[in-house]
């Protein structure tokens, strides 16, 4: 048996239903993985080592913060010392680090006692390589890293580097994802008073091809790649250290 409601009652119920539907709270988006501090557990020993290095490197004037590309300076110690040694540099690169891993390291406070003149930051390619995080999410993680660095080192000059090219050509999906991140970073750097440096063209040819002579695995610089990087940083670093 079908029940027929009076028109007035049916209309009232429809209004109530519409109001209840409109009153439902919007779903809360999940926290971005790129912003949730967590240790890179596979590099726990490296994290402990860097905390110990920082403890004794009280005179460090120049910090490099990043992932394996930054850690890789340790493979060319003569170049590192020749270019940056007079600044008492401290390499805070950790292989495999993503933005959330850097945030975790900063949250531990192991570097807070340092008083550098300049901090060079490059991070994000592992967010692409490990999970293909959306560019906006990676940029949000980098934004928070800069915010944390400003809070901890208010007197330091911050330099944000564009994520280096990876993959042989401009059509490589991971390079394209990183390039999309890079397009968001100048505004983020400006908001935190950081200098933005895009050194990408120093590593590729005029067509954007990344030679294996520069990055043998098309991701990490080889000795020649680090020489290219050192050359590109020479003038900016000298300027920051004045």
Q: Which of 67, 68, 101, 113 is catalytic?
A: 68
130 flagged as catalytic: no
The active-site residue, picked from 31, 171, 206, 217, is 217
Q: What φ, ψ does residue 16 adopt, rounded to 5°? A: -60, -45
What is the C-alpha to C-alpha distance for residues 155 and 135, in angstroms, rounded to an integer?
29
Helix, strand, or coil (residue 175) = helix
Asked if 158 contacts 194 with a C-beta cutoff of 8 angstroms, the reply is yes
Q: Mutual orientation of helices 223-240 and 77-84 as an angle, nearest 10°?
A: 20
Q: Which residue has the tokens 């340092």?
A: 114
Q: What are phi and psi of 195, to 5 degrees?
A: -85, 135
Q: Which of 67, 97, 143, 220 is flagged as catalytic?
A: 220
Q: Using CA atoms in the order 144, 145, 147, 148, what is the torsion angle rounded to 10 degrees? A: 120
* Residue 217 bears catalytic tag: yes
Round to whole Å and give the CA distance between 94 and 148: 18
What's the CA gap between 62 and 64, in Å, rounded?
7
119 CB-near residues (< 8 Å, 6+ apart): 62, 63, 64, 65, 149, 153, 156, 157, 158, 159
In contact, 83 and 233? CB cutoff 8 Å: yes
Which are the catalytic amino acids? 68, 217, 220
């Amino acid at each position: 048996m079908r029940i027929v409601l009076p028109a007035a009652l049916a209309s009232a119920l429809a209004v109530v239903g519409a109001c209840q539907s409109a009153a439902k709270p919007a779903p809360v988006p999940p926290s971005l993985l790129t912003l949730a501090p967590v240790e890179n557990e596979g590099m726990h020993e490296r994290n402990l080592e860097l905390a110990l290095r920082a403890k004794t490197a009280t005179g460090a004037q120049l910090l490099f913060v990043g992932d394996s590309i930054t850690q890789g300076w340790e493979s060319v110690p003569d170049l590192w010392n020749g270019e940056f040694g007079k600044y008492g540099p401290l390499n805070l690169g950790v292989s495999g680090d993503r933005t959330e891993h850097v945030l975790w390291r900063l949250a531990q406070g192991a570097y807070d006692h340092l008083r550098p003149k300049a901090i060079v930051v490059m991070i994000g390619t592992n967010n692409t390589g490990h999970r293909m995080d959306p560019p906006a999410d990676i940029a949000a993680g980098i934004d928070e890293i800069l915010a944390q660095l400003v809070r901890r080192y208010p007197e330091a000059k911050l330099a944000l580097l564009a994520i280096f090219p990876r993959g042989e050509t401009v059509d490589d999906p991971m390079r394209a994802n990183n390039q999309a991140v890079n397009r968001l970073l100048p505004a983020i750097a400006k908001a935190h008073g950081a200098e933005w440096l895009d050194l990408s063209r120093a590593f590729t040819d005029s067509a954007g091809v990344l030679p294996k002579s520069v990055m043998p695995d098309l991701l990490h610089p080889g000795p020649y790649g680090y020489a290219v990087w050192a050359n590109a940083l020479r003038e900016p670093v000298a300027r920051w250290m004045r």
